[in-house]
Structures are given as structure tokens and as C-alpha cells.
Amino acid sequence: MATDLFHIDTVPLRRWFVLFFIDHGARRMHIAGITRHPTGPWITQQARTYLMDLGDRAESIKFLIRNRSAYFTNSFDTVFQAAGVRVIPTLPAVPRMNAIAERWIGSCRREATDRILITGERHLRLVLDECTEHYNSHRPHRSLGQRAPGRLTESEPIIATGKTRISRRDRLSDLIHEYSQVA
């Protein structure tokens, strides 16, 4: 499991911070919270809520990778350590130690938030919900056999032939395209 915090600037020049968790094994993404003023207690509460939402699946988490930001306090670490999770802070100035989380931030920015003028918190939530839904239910991942995290129980996708019909579904006002084979 990995976590990170990144920011999005809106049209009225307000900065919003997004806290997320991503499962390394399944590549499943979860937006934990959005705030203008992240604090240690707020992030700790989001961690508690996330672990409660996971329920029994929380027992499968062995490690949590996070950066050394001051937002990730000792109380944040304690929440995960109490659940039997070993918290691993990244080394200073080594973003590759949290590469999967950094990759999601980059994908989210390239595919959506850098291409849309975000007007406020509600709009940001809508955009991030669409990105997360696309990432979890449709976007193929090489490490998962070209399946999406929400489709791990399905067999590997069939390779399209010349006679295969393809349908396209657009998300976020045509910014994200999802393709599927039509039977």
C-alpha cells in the first residue's frame, strides 16, 4: 500500500490538497479526502476512516509507503502500526521509492486535471471521482495482464482481430476514452 498528498490549483486561485491510497498488488485507487488545509489530525482521521472502510481486507496490508512530509505525523503512523502495518517513509528526495503513487499523480494530472479548469471543490471531486472510476474499472495495467483493478477475476482480454467491433465511451467531456469489444 502507498499513500501521498498532492495539490490542485483551481481557477479562483485556491489550492486543494488530495490524500489518496493505492494498493500496490491490485493497483486499486482510493481518494481518502480533499481539503484546503491539510493538517496532521485531518490526515490521521482519513487514515482511520480508510482502514475502517477496508474492514477485513486491512489485514492483508503488510507495508505502507509514504513520503516524509510533515503532514504524515506520528499519530498517522500509529494508526497503521496498530493494525499491524509497517510504515516505510521514503528517503529524502527519492520519489522513486513511492513510484506507483507518483505514477498515479502524473496520470491524473496528464489525463484530466491539467486539461480542465477546476472551478472549486465540488468540481474537483467530480473530476477525481471520474479519474478514479476509470483507473479502477477500465484502465488496463501491464502488471495485471492488461486488466483493470476492478476486473481481476476476469480472464485476460481477447486480442482484437480485423472483424472485431469496438465501442468507445467518453468520460470527462471527451478527455478520457474507454474502448471495449462488442460481441
| 55-68 pLDDT, tens digit each | 888 888 999 999 99
Res. 93 pLDDT band, cuts 50 70 90: confident
Domain ranges of the chain: 2-156
Helices (H), 10-152: 40-54, 74-82, 99-108, 121-137
- Largest pairwise CA distance in the chain: 58
Which burial class, exposed, middle or buried, applies to 58 when counting CB atoms under 10 A from its CB (0-12, 13-18, 19+)? middle
- State yes or no: pLDDT of 10 exceeds 80: yes
| pLDDT interval class at 30 (50, 70, 90) | very high
Question: CA 32, CA 60: separation in Å to the nearest integer?
Answer: 19
Average pLDDT over residues 146-171: 66
In this structure, of 14-18, 43-47, 153-157, the range with the lowest mean pLDDT score is 153-157
Distance from C-alpha of 152 to C-alpha of 87, rounded to nearest angstrom: 27
- Look over the chain and give the mean of its residue pLDDT values, rounded to a whole number: 85
Whether the predicted model's global pTM rises above the 0.75 cut: yes
How far apart are alpha carbons 46 and 48 in whole angstroms? 5
- Choosing among 2.40.110.10, 3.40.50.10320, 3.30.420.10, 3.40.50.150, the CATH entry for 2-156 is 3.30.420.10
Contacts of residue 130, Cβ cutoff 8 Å, sequence gap at least 6: 112, 171, 172, 176
Rg value, the chain, Cα: 18
